[in-house]
Amino acid sequence: MLTDHAMTELRGLVQRAHALGTVGELLGWDEQVNLPPGAAEQRAAQHAVLAEAHHAAASAPRIGELLRELEQRKDRLSSDQGAIVADARRDYDRTTRLPAEFVREKAAQGSRGYHAWARAKAADDFGNYAPVLEKNIELARREAAYLGFGHAPYDYLLDRHDPGLNAAAVDRLFGELKRDLVPLVRRITGSPAAGRARAAAARLRGFPSEAQRTFLREVTARLGFDYSRGRIDVSLHPFCSGTGSDVRMTTRYQEDQPLDALFSSIHETGHGLYEQGLPAADLGTALGLHAGMAMHESQSRLWENQVARSRGFWRFFEPRWRELFGAQMHGVSSEELYFAINAVEPTLIRVDADEVTYNLHIVLRFELEKKLFAGELAVRALPAAWRAASRALIGLEPSNDREGVLQDVHWSDGAFGYFPSYCLGNMIAAQLWSHVRLQRPAWEEDFARGDFAWLLGWLRENIHAQGRRHSALELVRRVTGEELSPRHLVRYLDERYGQLYEV
């Protein structure tokens, strides 16, 4: 193992660059939580300056010199050191190919794009947002070209979020999933029990926001989120940012949809637990970074769905729920509550979708993104294309763009290629869950006692502590002993919902 100053200096430089990146995340969090409306343009300028500083630190010539020196002596590197060097090389090569002025322009555009999207969504005005989206696509294409992906920009965008991933691989996995999922959705939504579930969900009305806040804070803390190293606030679109000892989550409250804030908060908690579980001393290096957004989404979806929609979870938390919401729950039985929690009903809004139909929303976005970057779909034609795809895949057509093409924040700052991570995350979560249940047969009884620490400990050891030593797909193979497959997700959905809906 190499122990000389070169490795120490490299670690210091990449960790410094990473620290600057986390300041940018904090600016982004504040922008969506606290920023005064009149400060949007000033914040765009701040993002631009910071992005330029981060780019300069990450592309410092000294990093390149150290990488060349260490690569010449790679036979003396430990496996962990080799992972650090390989990851730093990938980041350095990509960073140095991007002009500083482009980085500055893209950061400012991302900030302006967020505010343009928020205005457009509020006004249901896609026309004024379209030029912003066109600019974002142009920037994404330019970035891909700088990095040698001019012939396949969408492959680059997928790879940026999940190293090693490309459109062909996603096509194959999504194709297999659609083949088995669509018939399952039809059986469940056609079941007489589906009506009972919808009726139960409709009875959950008038839940005070402050009591919701109390409940979800207790739940997320019980799951393991460390509030001495994180916080939760309110934003237009729930998200999680930050890392290590400063993790920021957001949610939103609706008194007539109390499960929305709860499950979105548990979802973001999964992200937060992953970030809090990464090795603190190695933050910024391959040993202390997450393994890609599909793995990140697997952590959030596992806690949100496999855990928080289980009977064991609610056997533990239902008494406290009824204590806080006694009047609202009057006459609602435990079985009706469980049906409401696991109600399956196609919806136009992705973040409101149940876990059975959710993946169809992701397939919709993936297929539209592919067409956008293949030049087969113009931005101005997106609303009509969205409506047609929604009708074909989900069985519903939006009556306005607010519940169609304007519903998600992701494209506003150029996060193209991110959406597939959600569905891949569902596949990974189900495959991890299938594996971990074999090791813990009494998992539901553990949940009923409020014991979630064993699951968090398993994830800490097998996922979080691994950092970015491996890609998400390779880490899945190492942990579960098989390649990623959608069959675990379909089987899990069939087991839980097939039994509940008697299909």
- First-residue to last-residue Cα distance in the chain: 58
Query: Which letter does DSSP use for residue 167 in this model?
Result: H
Distance CA 464, CA 479 (A): 12
Task: Say if residue 179 is exposed, middle or buried (CB neighbours under 10 Å; 0-12, 13-18, 19+).
Answer: exposed
Residue whose C-alpha is closest to residue 115's, from 19, 38, 23, 198 = 38
Distance CA 301, CA 295 (A): 10
Catalytic annotation, pick one of 268, 336, 369, 403: 268
Helix (H, G, I), strand (E, B) or coil at 395: coil
Kindly report the length of the chain.
503
Whose structure tokens read 């069959």? 487
Q: Is 71 a catalytic residue?
A: no
Whose structure tokens read 């040698």? 148
Interhelix angle 153-161/358-373, rounded to 10 degrees, is 140
Helix (H, G, I), strand (E, B) or coil at 119: helix
Instruction: Give CA torsion, residues 311, 315, 316, 317, to 10 deg.
Output: 90
The alpha carbon dihedral of 136, 139, 141, 147 has a sign of negative
Return the active site residues: 268
